[in-house]
Structure 1
Amino acid sequence: MSGFKSLFKQTFIYGLATVLPRMLSFILVPLYTDPKVLSVAEYGRVSFIFAYFVLFNVVLAYGMETAFFRFFNKEESKEKVTNTSAISLIISSVAILGIAFLFRNQISALINIEIKYLNLVFIILLLDALVIIPFAWLRATAQPMRYAIIKILNVAINLGLNIFLLLYLKGLADGDSIFNSIYKPDFEISYIFISNVIASGITLLLLLPFYKKIKFSFDIVLWKKMMRYAMPVLIAGIAYSVNETFDRILLEKLLPANIAEEQIGMYSACYKLALFMTLFATAFRLGIEPYFFSHSNAKNPQKNYAKILEYFVAFGSVIFIAVVVFADLLKPYIIRSEAYYEAMWIVPFILLANFCLGIYHNLSVWYKITDRTKFGAYISVFGALLTLVLNYILIPKIGFKGSAIATLSAYAVMMLLSFYFGRKHYPIPYNLKKIALYFGVSTVFSMLYFYNFRGNYFIGIGAIIVFLGIVFQLEKNELKQLLKK
Structure 2
Amino acid sequence: MGIVQKQSVQNVIITYIGFFIAAINTLFLYTKILPDAYYGLVTFILASGAILMPILAFGVHNTMVKYFSNFSEEGKDGFLTLMMLTPLLGILPVALIFSVWQEPLGNWISKENPMVKDYLWYIFLVGLAMAYFEVFYAWCRVHMKSVFGNFMKEVFARVGVSLLLALFYFGAINLDAFLKLLVGLHLLRTIIIQLYAYTLRFPRFNLNFPAHTKEILSYSVLIILGGSAALVLLEIDKVMLNQFISIENVAYYSVAVYIATVIIVPSRAMHQITYPLTAELLNSGDGAGLKKLYQRTSLTLLIASGLLFLLIILNMKDLFQLLPENYRGGFTIVLLIGLAKVMDSILGNNNAILYNSKYYRTVLVFGVGLAILTIVLNYLLIPKFGLEGAAMASFISIFIFNGVKLAFVRIKFGYWPFTAATFKILATLVLLAVLFRFLEFSFHPLINIGLKSGLIVLMYVGILYRFNISEDVTGYVSKWFKKNTP
Question: How far apart are 1:204 and its partner, in Å?
Answer: 0.6
Judging changes above 3 Å, is the alpha-carbon distance between structure 1 residues 394 and 106 closer, same or farther for their aligned structure 2 residues? closer
Question: How far apart are 1:392 and its partner, in Å?
Answer: 3.1
Q: Provide the C-alpha distance between the structure 1 equivalents of 2:392 and 2:254, rounded to a whole number of angstroms.
A: 15
What's the Cα RMSD here? 3.2
Judging changes above 3 Å, is the alpha-carbon distance between structure 1 residues 386 and 438 closer, same or farther for their aligned structure 2 residues? farther
Question: How far apart are 1:415 and its partner, in Å?
Answer: 1.7
The residue that corresponds to 2:268 in the other structure is 282
Q: Does 1:294 align with 2:284?
A: no
The residue that corresponds to 2:438 in the other structure is 453
Q: Is the 8 A contact 1:11 1:284 kept in 2?
A: yes
Matches within 5 A, 1:110-129: 110-112=108-110, 114-129=116-131
Q: Provide the C-alpha distance between the structure 1 equivalents of 2:430 and 2:104, rounded to a whole number of angstroms.
A: 46
Q: Does 1:379 align with 2:366?
A: yes
> C-alpha offsets along residues 141-184 of structure 1, whole Å, 9 cap, x if unaligned?
1223433454466325522541243212x2x5xxxxxxxxxx44
**TM-score under structure 1 length normalisation:** 0.83
Q: Is the 8 A contact 2:160 2:185 kept in 1?
A: yes
Q: Is the 8 A contact 2:260 2:341 kept in 1?
A: yes
Matching residue within 72, 93, 108 for 2:68: 72
Judging changes above 3 Å, is the alpha-carbon distance between structure 1 residues 358 and 249 closer, same or farther for their aligned structure 2 residues? same
* Stretch deviating more after TM superposition (389-398 or 138-147): 389-398
Question: How far apart are 1:292 and its partner, in Å?
Answer: 1.0
Structure 1 counterpart SS, 2:34:
coil
Q: Provide the C-alpha distance between the structure 2 equivalents of 1:58 and 1:47, rounded to a whole number of angstroms.
A: 18
Matching residue within 407, 415, 422 for 1:435: 422
The residue that corresponds to 1:180 in the other structure is none
Matches within 5 A, 1:78-477: 78-90=76-88, 92-94=90-92, 96-112=94-110, 114-151=116-153, 154-155=156-157, 158-168=160-170, 170=171, 183-184=173-174, 187=175, 191-201=178-188, 203-205=190-192, 207-208=194-195, 210=197, 213-218=202-207, 219=209, 221-255=211-245, 260-296=246-282, 297=284, 298=286, 300-301=288-289, 302-331=291-320, 335=323, 337-360=324-347, 362-439=349-426, 442=429, 446=433, 453=438, 455=440, 465-472=458-465, 473-475=467-469, 477=471
Q: Is the 8 A contact 1:15 1:284 kept in 2?
A: yes
Matching residue within 45, 50, 56 for 1:49: 45
Q: Does 1:5 align with 2:2?
A: yes
Q: Does 1:18 align with 2:15?
A: yes
Q: Provide the C-alpha distance between the structure 2 equivalents of 1:261 and 1:454, rounded to a whole number of angstroms.
A: 36
Judging changes above 3 Å, is the alpha-carbon distance between structure 1 residues 331 and 81 closer, same or farther for their aligned structure 2 residues? farther
Percent of aligned positions with the same letter in both sequences? 19
The code of the aligned residue for 1:85 comes to M
Q: Provide the C-alpha distance between the structure 2 equivalents of 1:396 and 1:246, rounded to a whole number of angstroms.
A: 15
Unaligned runs of 5+ in 2: 442-447
Paired positions, count: 457
Q: Provide the C-alpha distance between the structure 2 equivalents of 1:386 and 1:465, rounded to a whole number of angstroms.
A: 41
Q: Is the 8 A contact 2:44 2:250 kept in 1?
A: yes
Judging changes above 3 Å, is the alpha-carbon distance between structure 1 residues 459 and 143 closer, same or farther for their aligned structure 2 residues? closer
Judging changes above 3 Å, is the alpha-carbon distance between structure 1 residues 74 and 398 closer, same or farther for their aligned structure 2 residues? same
Unaligned runs of 5+ in 1: 173-182
Structure 2 counterpart SS, 1:85:
helix
The code of the aligned residue for 1:311 comes to T
Judging changes above 3 Å, is the alpha-carbon distance between structure 1 residues 285 and 115 closer, same or farther for their aligned structure 2 residues? same
The code of the aligned residue for 1:453 comes to F
Question: How far apart are 1:312 and its partner, in Å?
Answer: 1.5
The code of the aligned residue for 1:44 comes to G
Judging changes above 3 Å, is the alpha-carbon distance between structure 1 residues 196 and 360 closer, same or farther for their aligned structure 2 residues? farther
**TM-score under structure 2 length normalisation:** 0.83
The code of the aligned residue for 2:312 comes to V
Judging changes above 3 Å, is the alpha-carbon distance between structure 1 residues 251 and 205 closer, same or farther for their aligned structure 2 residues? closer
Q: Provide the C-alpha distance between the structure 1 equivalents of 2:55 and 2:348, rounded to a whole number of angstroms.
A: 20
Question: How far apart are 1:193 and its partner, in Å?
Answer: 4.2
The code of the aligned residue for 1:292 comes to T
Q: Provide the C-alpha distance between the structure 1 equivalents of 2:131 and 2:329, rounded to a whole number of angstroms.
A: 37
